């Protein structure tokens, strides 16, 4: 029963995502989704314990929705930045790896942060070591760890701290 504690929220999230992807929902689609969700709940898979950190509340759902909009805006801005750097040779490109510090305590929160950074063009998370992330950045404009953390991490963190603790 203890193993189901961390899997039930995961199954609910996967079912919700699946339901959005197959809109409009019909009775056969709903039955298939429920059956697949139950199978997903029963079949063991390694590494799923990280989802045990998930706790649901209305505040966390609201912050998650806000985070999606923030993340999409960050992706649009960084896409434009990278496109301008590619199309305009006079814009600087100073690639390198920076070490940034996160305040997130949960493994899942750090995982989501690292993936969010990687999905944002111009940055790739290379490694996570405790509270430090090593980020390959297309244009390092500061060697100061606190300033780099502010530019890369803090926008994501203010939402992820509420969502994942």
Residue in the structure block whose two tokens are 């590494």: 47
Average pLDDT over residues 107-115: 90
Question: Which 3 state secondary structure label does DSSP give 102?
Answer: coil
Cis omega (within 30 of 0) for bond into 158 = no
pLDDT-based confidence at residue 3 (cuts at 50, 70, 90): low
**CA-CA distance, 165 to 146, in Å (whole number)?**
21
pLDDT-based confidence at residue 1 (cuts at 50, 70, 90): very low
> Is the model's pLDDT at 164 over the cut of 90?
no
Q: Please give the distance of CA 53 from its chain centroid, rounded to a whole number.
A: 15
**CA-CA distance, 114 to 86, in Å (whole number)?**
24
User: Can you give the residue ranges of every domain in the chain?
Assistant: 2-53, 58-164
**CA-CA distance, 105 to 67, in Å (whole number)?**
18
Structure tokens at 159: 């939402």
How much is the pLDDT for 70? Answer: 95
pLDDT-based confidence at residue 50 (cuts at 50, 70, 90): low
| Ramachandran angles phi, psi of 126, nearest 5° | -95, -40
pLDDT-based confidence at residue 119 (cuts at 50, 70, 90): very high
Mean pLDDT of the chain: 84
pTM for this entry: 0.73
Residues of the chain with pLDDT > 70, as a percent, come to 89
How much is the pLDDT for 48? Answer: 61
């Amino acid at each position: 029963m203890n193993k189901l504690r961390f899997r039930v929220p995961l199954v609910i999230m996967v079912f919700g995502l699946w339901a959005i992807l197959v809109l409009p929902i019909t009775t056969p689609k709903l039955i298939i989704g429920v059956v697949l969700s139950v199978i997903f709940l029963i079949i063991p898979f390694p590494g799923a314990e990280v989802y045990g950190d998930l706790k649901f509340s209305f505040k966390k759902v609201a912050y998650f929705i806000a985070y999606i909009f923030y993340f999409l805006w960050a992706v649009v801005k960084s896409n434009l930045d990278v496109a301008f750097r590619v199309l305009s040779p006079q814009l600087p490109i100073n690639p390198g790896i920076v070490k940034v510090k996160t305040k997130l305590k949960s493994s899942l929160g750090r995982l989501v942060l690292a993936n969010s950074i990687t999905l944002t063009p111009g940055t790739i998370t290379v490694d996570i070591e405790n509270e430090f992330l090593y980020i390959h950045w297309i244009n390092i404009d500061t060697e100061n760890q606190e300033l780099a953390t502010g530019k890369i991490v803090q926008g994501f963190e203010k939402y992820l701290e509420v969502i994942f603790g």
